[in-house]
Structure 1
């Protein structure tokens, strides 16, 4: 995922900034990296406080995506789906419903494991 993001950014001459906790430090990282505290929401908080309208963020967290969409940020899932004003409410509802089922002891399936595709996650690179 990181490699595809960097490749796509190079194609469009766009800067990339990865945000991660100190627990996830990478040796010899490519691209710009910002390391934050290991607190649960530290990376999200950093992004929310530093993102600008029109920026692109990749996240699997639908709740976080909703916050960013409201700020005019383009938000993509790791699978390439765009979170938008017209779909974020229904995605949040589905997330809430699945969490409710899990609290009731019912098992819900998550997404299939992410596998590298022949053409990558973003084959056309936007």
Structure 2
């Protein structure tokens, strides 16, 4: 099991939560970005050429059974959903078989509105609640797989 982050447009707080969890559970973490993004991490950062969906193609290529995907991209999520332990949206909810069709449909409707010259609501300011919800989702998956971990004295017990 690995945590794979779609690094394009991934909030810094989400990256930090993933890094902390990967460290605590000794899980491999891979952040995939294109050359237009500069990311520094103690974990693996894969840099791909800039291009439409180049990060998505790389993630699909390297994704293995039971990996966890962190993304905002519903199309990418739908491609790995069948073999993922979990797909977690950066806003703090699971993308799964129960909601993927609705999410893809809402994306499609938004694209049609924009293509016709209309405006759709852009991204809202990130909230503390989203960070907390994301952390709960990620740790839920890790606990289900590995159980609870005891951390160093300086850190809390999960």
Shorter-chain TM-score bucket reads 0.7 to 0.9
> Could you tell me whether the CA contact under 8 Å between 2:93 and 2:134 is conserved in 1?
no
Query: Structure 1 residue 94: deviation in Å?
Result: 1.0
For residues 15-55 of structure 1, give each alpha carbon's deviation from its aligned partner in whole angstroms, at most 9, with x where no partner exists. 1011111222335x221111111122221111101111110
Q: Trace 1:38-49 onto structure 2 (pairs within 5 A).
A: 38-49=50-61
1:12 aligns with 2:25: yes
Compare the two structures and name the one with the higher helix fraction.
Answer: 2
2:91/2:131 contact within 8 Å kept: no
Correspondence for 2:120 among 104, 108, 119: 108
- Superposed CA RMSD in Å reads 2.1
Distance 1:52 1:5, change over 3 A: same
Q: Determine which of 83, 106, 116 is the counterpart of 1:94.
A: 106
Closer, same or farther: CA 10–91 of 1 in aligned 2, 3 Å: same
- Give 1:62 deviation, angstroms: 0.8
Residue aligning to 2:65: 53
TM-score with structure 2 setting the length: 0.69
Shift of 1:89: 0.7
User: Hey, what's the Cα distance between the residues in 2 that align with 1:119 and 1:19?
Assistant: 20
Contact 1:4 1:120 in 2 (8 A): no
- Partner Cα separation in structure 2 for residue 101 and residue 4 of structure 1: 34
Residue 61 of structure 1: how far off its partner (Å):
0.8
Classify 1:12/1:91 alpha carbon distance in 2 versus 1 (closer, same or farther; 3 Å). same
Q: CA 1:105–1:4 in 2, change beyond 3 Å: closer, same or farther?
A: same
Q: Secondary structure of 1:25's match? A: coil
Higher relative contact order (CA 8 A, sep 6+): 2
- Judged with a 3 Å threshold, the aligned counterparts in structure 2 of structure 1 residues 63 and 11 are, in CA distance, closer, same or farther, namely same
